[in-house]
């Protein structure tokens, strides 16, 4: 994991002539669709990438696919667009905007959207038990208070990796924690001048292993930091290659 190389790539990208507005809009929409597909698929959504695109771009209803899966795609798109607005405004991360993001992600669940959970939960595929519901508000308050310290003297990728691991460990909502957490991760990367990353459904085992490493083995965010860095490097290289061709 070469975080210095990521900083070099980021500086190189900023020095190139930016894409025109139409191209930026196209690339953002492509990323949003891919990110919606992958983030939802990690959580068990059955839509394919093409089906996700048809729903979000054409408003098509996919026969024989659950209504819930359609609503999750639409909710994630709305949450992604809100995340981008927060990023461009450089809005400080807070419990309020985390709950707002979650309310969009879980728009199909009126009783639980944007509300900390009131029941015990487990995390699929991860050997960690989240705190009891009565502890969630205090754990979230502590996590937000600690975040400034996490960023001191560390690369933003290391800081957001640890924040993400701890956020998912608290599992503050009854559902939608993973999707909300990955949007927060991208919010903080963009605010720091980096590109958003799209953790792939095909890498879900590697992704879950990062939580096992943090909670049961190394107790460091190194594994997730490396995974995020891998995605960030690939995104930066892709954008640089695109601009250099132009």
Tens digit of pLDDT per residue, the chain (246 long)? Answer: 789 999 999 999 999 878 788 888 999 999 999 999 999 999 999 999 999 999 999 999 999 999 999 999 999 999 999 999 999 999 999 999 999 999 999 999 999 999 999 998 887 767 788 999 999 999 999 999 999 999 998 999 999 999 999 999 999 999 999 999 999 999 999 999 999 999 999 999 999 999 999 998 888 999 999 999 999 999 999 999 988 886
- For residue 1, the model assigns a pLDDT of 73
Q: Which of 133, 201, 221, 210 is nearest to 171 (CA)?
A: 133
- For residue 125, the model assigns a pLDDT of 66
- For residue 211, the model assigns a pLDDT of 94
What DSSP line would sit under 146-191, residue for residue? Answer: HHHHHHTTS-HHHHHHHHHHHHHHH--SSS-HHHHHHHHHHHHHHH
- For residue 113, the model assigns a pLDDT of 95
Sequence-separated (6 or more) residues with CB below 8 Å from residue 24: 18
| CATH architecture group of domain 3-245 | Orthogonal Bundle (1.10)
Dump strand ranges (E) for the chain: none
- For residue 19, the model assigns a pLDDT of 78
């Amino acid at each position: 994991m070469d975080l210095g190389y990521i900083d070099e790539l980021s500086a190189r990208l900023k020095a190139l002539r930016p894409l025109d507005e139409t191209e930026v809009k196209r690339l953002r929409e492509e990323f949003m669709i891919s990110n919606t597909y992958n983030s939802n698929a990690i959580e068990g959504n059955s839509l394919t990438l093409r089906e996700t695109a048809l729903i979000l771009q054409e408003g098509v209803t996919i026969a024989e696919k659950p209504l819930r899966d359609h609503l999750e795609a639409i909710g994630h798109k709305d949450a992604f667009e809100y995340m981008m607005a927060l990023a461009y405004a450089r809005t400080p991360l807070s419990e309020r905007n985390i709950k707002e993001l979650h309310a969009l992600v879980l728009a199909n669940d009126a009783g639980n959207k944007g509300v900390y959970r009131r029941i015990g939960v487990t995390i699929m595929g991860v050997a960690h038990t989240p705190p009891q519901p009565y502890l969630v508000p205090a754990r979230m308050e502590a996590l937000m208070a600690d975040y400034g310290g996490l960023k001191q003297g560390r690369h933003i990728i290391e800081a957001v990796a640890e924040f993400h691991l701890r956020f998912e460990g608290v599992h503050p909502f009854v559902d939608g924690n993973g999707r909300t957490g990955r949007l927060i991760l991208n919010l903080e990367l963009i605010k720091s001048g980096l590109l958003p990353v799209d953790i792939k459904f095909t890498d879900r085992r590697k992704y879950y292993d990062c939580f096992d490493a943090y909670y049961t083995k190394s107790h460091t965010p190194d594994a997730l930091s490396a995974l995020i860095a891998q995605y960030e490097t690939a995104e930066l290289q892709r954008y640089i290659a695109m601009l250099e061709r132009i």
